[in-house]
Structure 1
């Protein structure tokens, strides 16, 4: 009996050792881990400022017999406010802006006679739609626009004796495109082009056309960029 018990105990011990060795030989499998990769989110309100070059075109060169150039270039500067909403990589939004549009053209006609037209401000309310590539946004924009145009001068030969002046606020449409990039979580910079057309209307005694082009850069502060996206990698 004693010999039988000793043999059984030895067999059990050998079986346990073999099983333990087998377990040690099997490599452990890595556990999949989710890595949180922060992705920029464009959702939120923003405010900003812009600066650039504006071109205003009129048909005054025709109305004055070619004496007054039909286009002029000047400084543009202003403020903008808007809201973005991002759905996947599509960004939709609305933006309003207003500012200085400083273009003046003048022709001296002799004898103290002259004619001058100028623009001083413009504004717009536009929709925006774009594609976000993480921190870079490519977008198009369009909507309503407003601007002023004025004319003044003096007429009479040989010496000017009949001064005149008139001004209007014009309404029209605007279209454009731009690129915007987030340099920090809340600060973005952009480059943008806008074309605006205000039609042809009577100004003083002439039918005057007005259209503008703006090339500008801007900076915005985003008050909220929403939650970051979570990307799982294994």
Structure 2
């Protein structure tokens, strides 16, 4: 009887010693893989001040009327370039509102001879103050823009010339993308309509207004 008990104890001890090795041979549950350099899931932040430059092409039509020439149109086009600055605020992660101002040098000039009278119409600079409202897809945004437009308007005829600052309105749209966390690039189109200005040249009154368009590429630095 004692020998049977001793044998049972020996079997139990051997079984207990072999259990860890047996358990190690069983399939183990998969462990999660942890990477040291996880890619950040943070969205691009459009909010903040920015400053930049742009270059493009402007084209437009001067409409002039006088007693000597009657009413006539002059089409002009040329290079347009300058600087812009503004501020964006993220209303939601996707809805971006902002305010922007720009100043451009332009090369709109046209000479015409109408009814024997030589008339030159030109605009040397252009500026806007606009609101912007966009929808952002993380690092890419489409937007609409509109506001106040200001431009230089000059008319020369009969050996004299006059110069006025024309006030009007502008509407446009654009697309903008983040190149880095601080640099963005854009393509933009603006349509501008300026009020009519009057000039008295050589004793004759001339009335001229300007409708213009601008297509341009720009780069901005976001602070």
- TM norm structure 2: 0.80
1:168 equivalent in alignment to 2:164: yes
**Is the aligned partner of 1:36 residue 2:39?**
yes
Q: Which residue of 2 aligns with 1:91?
A: 96
Deviation at 1:190, TM superposition (A): 1.5
Aligned alpha-carbon RMSD (Å): 2.8
How far apart, CA to CA, are the structure 2 residues paired with 1:110 and 1:197? Answer: 27
Aligned counterpart, 1:104: 109
Q: Which has the higher contact order (CA 8 A, sep 6+)?
A: 1
Cα gap change, 1:84 to 1:10, in 2 (>3 Å): same
**Which residue is 1:192 aligned to?**
188
User: In 1, Cα distance between the equivalents of 2:135 and 2:16?
Assistant: 65
User: For each residue in 1:8-58, what CA deviation from the matched residue of structure 2 results, as whole angstroms up to 9, or x when unmatched?
Assistant: 353254146346524641422333769433543323322111111111222
Q: Structure 2: how far apart are the matches of 1:19 and 1:199? A: 92
Aligned residues: 213
Gaps of 5+ in 2: none
Deviations 1:113-164 (A, max 9, x none): 522111111111111122223332221111111112111210xxxxxxxx43
Distance 1:28 1:218, change over 3 A: same
- Is the 8 Å Cα contact of residues 66 and 207 (structure 2) preserved in structure 1? no
Aligned position for 1:131: 135
User: How has the CA–CA distance of structure 1 residues 62 and 74 changed in structure 2, closer, same or farther, with 3 Å as cutoff?
Assistant: farther
Please give the secondary structure, in 2, of the residue aligned with 1:58: strand
* Distance in 2 separating the partners of 1:24 and 1:138: 59
**What is the distance in 2 between the residues matched to 1:109 and 1:102?**
22
Greater fraction strand: 2
Give unpaired runs (5+ residues) of structure 1: 155-162, 224-234
CA–CA distance in 1 between the matches of 2:127 and 2:206? 25
Instruction: Give the Cα–Cα distance (whole angstroms) in 1 for the partners of residues 194 and 206 of structure 2.
Output: 15
Q: More displaced, 137-146 or 205-214?
A: 205-214
Distance 1:90 1:24 in 2: 57
Alpha-carbon distance in 2 for matches of 1:120, 1:197: 16
| Mapped partners of 1:134, 1:60: distance in 2 | 47
